[in-house]
Structure 1
Amino acid sequence: MSLASLGISSSFIIGCCIAAQIARRVSAKVLNRGGIVPVLINEAIAAAELCACCFELIIVADNFGVATYAVFLFMLTVWWGKVWGDASACPYTHMEDVLEGRTSFKEMALRTWAELMGGCCVYRIVQVFWWLEFAETHKGRAFGECSADLQVNVYLGAVIEGVATLLCRLASKALSEKEPKFSSYIDSFVGTSLVVAAFNFSGGYFNPVLATALKWGCRGHTNLEHIIVYWIGACVGAVLSVPIFKLTPVRRFLLGDEEKPKQA
């Protein structure tokens, strides 16, 4: 495929990021800072940005390879970590907050709903862009039937998504506590590496909202199988990260000497 097509995909992704940032700025000025509404708007914007970019990353991966896809994903995750603020565009982070007592079940449900709305609705914008066929890589993609990325048994896929999500969350928690230099880059590298490792097995989504926006109803798995792999698998992995991270051997392994017991 030509570099012109890659340039068009890159321009679309950059445009999505700019549009989302403008939406965040407008939202911050128009809405009051208090209350749940600004929080939900920010989650919806973040989810829309995430899913719009990842729709185009599918085009990049299919036509320019997983290595190119990984470079784009790494740069995007670094960017999102800097601009999203309290938004996560991912429901299991709120489940973790419920377990830790930092938020309520109601807020978790509302944030998840906002993320699903933002992530799923943005496809219509992507579809129009693909329909215009500015790039040869977009030909036939706007209304073509999608295929599932799950290439293994459903339960193995759930384990892959769950274990990888668990590892991602443990790494993020450790980096959040230690705050090393370039922690955002390290976190993005770990996440991207795990996505690439799982890419040819489950797709490496590690985010139920992202998986649902991109692959719900696609040929290759039933809706129940989708829920088992991408919702139950990922959410169980994330929830398990909360008690596992509190285990002394795990903290000692991840955090180093500062977690060793003090000598009497």
Structure 2
Amino acid sequence: MAGLNVSFAFFALVVGVCQVLRWLSKRLLSPAVYECLARELAGSLQLCMSFLELRMLMEIGLWGGGFGPDVILTLLFLLFLVHGASSDGAFANPAVSLQEFLLCESNLAATAAKLLAQAVGMGTGWAATKLYWSWELTHFHVIQNLIAAECSSSIHTSLHHAAFVESICSFLFHLVLLKLHQSHPICWTPALAVTVTFLTYTAGPFTGAFFNPALATATTFHCSGNTLWDYIQVYWLGPLAGMLAALLLCQGNVPRLFQKNLLYSQKSKYKIPKARVVAHVEEPQQKKKGERNNSKPQA
């Protein structure tokens, strides 16, 4: 239990440091630079460090700590709940940034800046977590350091099935996001946390259920068992395909590429009552009759 308390303290420290980073960046930088760079970097740093520690608990804690999957799933839900509440709108997910670009909510320069910030944040988070593990504050970290050099791939099924699983997870995640993102964060933050927890519980044994290209790159790309192209197909192309499918289902098209709705017919939401149409038609006719009567010579 002492090891779990150290992990709780680590989670709290990471969130606190990233909150200070957001606060300072918002005060010192322009709103555009903050939204595209600093906010995404802080969100990616927080997500990567917290998820790596949680993944370590998932792999080692089940047999080395004596706690069951219910503890891990509860921690996973709380992790994404806190991330959604504290990230100030940064999802730290390249697929979400590309979705915003395809929806014309972000231009090319801002999208490129977000992707760069996410890559830097994930890389920094991976390096910082490795340094923290090297201190070996708990027996979990000791075991993690022993097995770190021989980590295995998170893909535990065929390549095509793994890519399909990641695309389905991404599809469901982005579907919930598209449906609820315009609502208040109090509504969509717990909904996304529940969605991520459910998808991880369901698809985790097959691929780890990342559906986040940057997070998967920092977490599992360095492990042996699959080639780089295998990882790209599963953890990059799979989530992007799922995002596009969710976008097409919700919008009927990709606004950045097509103006015409490809799936749904354009129908007016409002119907004009027939009585009003008849009234508008008869009114000009009555005026014309009145003008004819007035134009006749009077006896």
Q: Which residue pairs with 1:16 in the alignment?
A: 14
User: Displacement of 1:142 after TM fit?
Assistant: 3.5
Q: Which whole-Å CA distance do the structure 2 matches of 1:112 and 1:119 have between them? A: 11
Q: Which residue pairs with 1:200 in the alignment?
A: 205
User: Displacement of 1:32 after TM fit?
Assistant: 2.4
Q: Which whole-Å CA distance do the structure 2 matches of 1:32 and 1:240 have between them? A: 35
Kindly indicate whether residue 97 of structure 2 is the aligned counterpart of residue 100 of structure 1.
no
**Residues 207-234 of structure 1, C-alpha deviations (whole Å, 9 max, x = no match):** 0000001111211211111111000001
Q: Which residue pairs with 1:113 in the alignment?
A: 116
Q: Which whole-Å CA distance do the structure 2 matches of 1:75 and 1:200 have between them? A: 20
Distance 1:48 1:236, change over 3 A: same
Distance 1:66 1:221, change over 3 A: farther
Q: Which whole-Å CA distance do the structure 2 matches of 1:199 and 1:180 have between them? A: 26
- Residue 88 of structure 1 is aligned with which of 81, 87, 91? 91
Q: Which residue pairs with 1:252 in the alignment?
A: none
Q: Which residue pairs with 1:60 in the alignment?
A: 57
Matched letter for residue 79 of structure 1: V
Spell out the pairing of 1:106-185 with structure 2 (5 A cutoff): 106-142=109-145, 144-145=148-149, 146-177=151-182, 182-185=187-190
Q: Which whole-Å CA distance do the structure 2 matches of 1:193 and 1:158 have between them? A: 18
Count of aligned pairs: 248
On the 8 A contact 2:152/2:223 being kept in 1, the answer is yes
Q: Work out the percentage of aligned pairs sharing the same amino acid.
A: 23
On the 8 A contact 1:92/1:239 being kept in 2, the answer is no
On the 8 A contact 2:36/2:113 being kept in 1, the answer is no
Q: Which whole-Å CA distance do the structure 1 matches of 2:33 and 2:185 have between them? A: 32
- Residue 241 of structure 1 is aligned with which of 238, 243, 246? 246
Query: Under a length normalisation based on structure 1, what TM-score does the superposition of the two structures give?
Result: 0.87
Q: Match of 2:7, SS?
A: helix
Deviates more, 1:8-17 or 1:197-206: 8-17
- Residue 211 of structure 1 is aligned with which of 213, 216, 222? 216
User: Displacement of 1:57 after TM fit?
Assistant: 0.5
Extract unaligned runs of 5+ from structure 1. Answer: 248-260
On the 8 A contact 1:97/1:103 being kept in 2, the answer is yes
Q: Which residue pairs with 1:4 in the alignment?
A: 2
Matched letter for residue 194 of structure 1: L
Deviates more, 1:97-106 or 1:126-135: 97-106
User: Displacement of 1:66 after TM fit?
Assistant: 3.4
Q: Which whole-Å CA distance do the structure 2 matches of 1:181 and 1:47 have between them? A: 21
User: Displacement of 1:7 after TM fit?
Assistant: 1.0
Q: Which whole-Å CA distance do the structure 2 matches of 1:32 and 1:176 have between them? A: 24
Q: Which residue pairs with 1:50 in the alignment?
A: 47
User: Displacement of 1:18 after TM fit?
Assistant: 0.9
**Residues 218-264 of structure 1, C-alpha deviations (whole Å, 9 max, x = no match):** 112111111110000011111221111135xxxxxxxxxxxxx7788
Q: Match of 1:96, SS?
A: helix
Q: Which residue pairs with 1:28 in the alignment?
A: 26
Spell out the pairing of 1:219-258 with structure 2 (5 A cutoff): 219-246=224-251
In terms of Rg, which structure is larger? 2
User: Displacement of 1:109 after TM fit?
Assistant: 2.2
Q: Which residue pairs with 1:71 in the alignment?
A: 74
User: Displacement of 1:37 after TM fit?
Assistant: 5.4
Query: Under a length normalisation based on structure 2, what TM-score does the superposition of the two structures give?
Result: 0.77
On the 8 A contact 1:216/1:223 being kept in 2, the answer is yes
Q: Which whole-Å CA distance do the structure 2 matches of 1:224 and 1:105 have between them? A: 26
Q: Which residue pairs with 2:276 in the alignment?
A: none
